[in-house]
Structure 1
Amino acid sequence: MSRSTPDVLTVTGLRRSFGGVRAVDGVEFSIAPGEFVSIIGPNGSGKSTTVNLISGVLKPDAGAVLVHGTRIRPGRPEAAAAAGIARTFQNGRVFGNMTVRENVDVGLQPTLRAARPLRVLANVPVLKWISLLAELGVALAPTPAARAERRASAARIDAQLARFEERLAPRADHATYTLSYANRRRTEIARALAAEPGLLLLDEPAAGMNQTETAEIGRQLAALKAQGQTVLLVEHKMDLVHDLSDRVLVLDEGRIIAQGTPAEVLADPRVIEAYLGRSRAGGKVGADV
């Protein structure tokens, strides 16, 4: 089916090895605007490695990642962020000594213009100090544009905290190390959403959550989907995958072995074999390489 706008994400021939282990082996797929796509697979199948390659945390051995048809520089998280990709991590990452509000504010950094007047120099090693001095100058003596940008940023932070209602909004000025595990995960999601990304990568956002917390995250992700947010989800809680996904990709040994609707994929004999074979051998769906 032809589309008038390019896919939000296109991945072609993605490969990455660790020593003698090929964790990702020729992965290719695309995600259309507003589509909610999930990646599932047995333990060690390459799910998180794929997300790390897309977000620039890892550099691929081969292949390309394109956002809206434009190739992004491999192995450069700042390039992925500038292209409109935001993410959460399998093992939640927040700044413990910073408040919830400050953590979410960090997510806005790729969107700042007035506060980072020479941001284009930040990626030039011999000139990045000029960019840092310019940012310091604006911080010490904000321009009218920088003050207006800060007010707009504060409103965006409040909107993300309100998304999680009583879970985060009343705790906006609490240090995140004082929060429950689930609220630290919510803070990480709010931080990723603050930049209003074109593509949101969620790496097991419900990991470690109980049934009630998982159901709550599911409702919030469903609301994001209804708003048209494009999402790539890595998850092993199959209820979430089934209820949220437009399409599911199944990885095994670094390759896509099946894709389709949740019902189609979960009935695929190759998927059943990949999961049941590993379960009988003592494996489980969960953490990934």
Structure 2
Amino acid sequence: MTTPLLGVTGITKRFGGLTVVNGVSFDVAPGEVLSIIGPNGSGKTSTLNIVSGVLASDAGSVTLDGVPITGRKPHQIARLGLTRTFQNGRVIGNLTVHDNVLVGLDGLGQQESKLREIPGLRWLPLLGEALGALFAPRKGVEQAETAVTRQLERFGERLAPRRDQYAFTLSYANRRRTEIARALVADPRVLVLDEPTAGMNQTETAEVLKQLLQLKQQGQTMLLVEHKLDLVMTLSDRIIVLDEGRIIAEGTPAEVRTDPRVIEAYLGTAFVKEHTHE
């Protein structure tokens, strides 16, 4: 068996008497796309938050290529090669598209941790990331520019011509694209995506799916949470299904969409009938 690039073992998170993630375990192999689906409140985003260091787990462990990352801060995990996007987009409106993507190369939250310690400035974590990226010493400006340009060009006319526009002027879909570009600019070993097409229409979703399929073809390892099931079924190698914080099913897209527990908890019979071809 291939040694997993990302290993998650028995992670658990409680908020008071509510257990939102309950003993979740899974592996992600190099080059694999693993998706997590489930009803609202099933623990999907909390799972991603634990994996990426945003949320501390009460039990269990996470490893990246065999290195324990449990308890590390998000910027430390990012430096080890796991980057992410968020369910609610986190572009910095008063920075240009170019500079938003550049944030993904340097800093990586180093300034954020300092700002959080200063009373009255705890609302500035994203500005801290930006300052760390824009003013910290870089190995090479040309190398950084090449990396940013490559990611902007990945999204073609949607982002490349807008590199010098402020992010607050962008459409919602282009803000989401900017966030994906920022997560990709440092060539992460694992890309974590939390509902990357949320709020996008059918055409916009299809464009992002095409770009994610290209990433998959290039060998990018991905961990994905997404409610748009057609995208999930097309992109994923494997799917795990959460309900009330527990894994209720795991397998290939074909296996998951015919699992009675998944149909009852999440998919519904209409989806299965629409996607069953005999």
- The answer to whether TM tops 0.5 is yes
Quick one: distance in 1 between partners of 2:30 and 2:231?
Answer: 20
Of 148, 157, 168, the match for 2:148: 157
1:258 pairs, out of 249, 257, 261, with 249
Identify which of 2, 10, 14 aligns with 1:13: 10
Unaligned runs of 5+ residues in structure 1 are 126-134, 280-289
**CA distance in structure 1 between the partners assigned to 2:221 and 2:187 by the alignment:** 11
The code of the aligned residue for 1:82 comes to R
Q: Find out whether 1:23 has 2:20 as its counterpart.
A: yes
TM-score where L is the length of structure 1:
0.82
Q: Which amino acid aligns with 1:272?
A: I
How many Å apart are 1:110 and its aligned residue? 5.7
CA 1:276–1:243 in 2, change beyond 3 Å: closer, same or farther?
closer
| 8 Å CA contact retained: 2:62, 2:69 | yes
Question: Which residue in the other structure is 1:183 paired with?
Answer: 174
2-side partners of 1:28 and 1:195: how far apart?
A: 27
Deviations 1:4-52 (A, max 9, x none): xx31100001000112110000000000000011000011100000000
User: How many aligned positions are there?
Assistant: 251
Offset at 1:151?
1.0
**Deviation digits for residues 36-92 of structure 1, max 9, x if unmatched?**
110000111000000000000000001111000110141511221122110000011
Report the CA distance shift for 1:110/1:224 in structure 2 as closer, same or farther (over 3 A): farther
Counterpart secondary structure, 2:224: strand
**1:110/1:35 CA distance change after superposition, 3 Å:** farther
Q: Percent identity?
A: 59
Alignment of structure 1 residues 62-141 onto 2, 5 Å = 62-74=59-71, 76-109=73-106
The equivalent of 1:166 in structure 2 is: 157
Separation in 2 of the partners of 1:216 and 1:151? 29
Q: Distance in 1 between matches of 2:5 and 2:100?
A: 26
Name the residue aligned to 1:238.
229
Q: Distance in 2 between matches of 1:90 and 1:169?
A: 24
Aligned-partner SS, 2:140:
helix
For 1:248, the equivalent position in structure 2 comes to 239
Which runs of at least 4 in structure 1 moved beyond 2 Å after TM superposition?
Answer: none
- Partners of 1:62 and 1:83 in 2: CA distance: 22
TM-score (norm: length of structure 2) = 0.85
Higher RCO (CA 8 Å, separation ≥ 6 residues):
1
Which consecutive residues of structure 2, in runs of 5 or more, have no partner in the other structure? 118-130, 271-278
- Give the counterpart letter for 1:164 in structure 2: F
Distance 1:173 1:110 in 2: 21
**Does structure 1 residue 220 correspond to structure 2 residue 217?**
no
110 and 64 in structure 1: CA distance in 2 versus 1, 3 angstrom threshold? farther
Q: CA RMSD in A?
A: 2.4
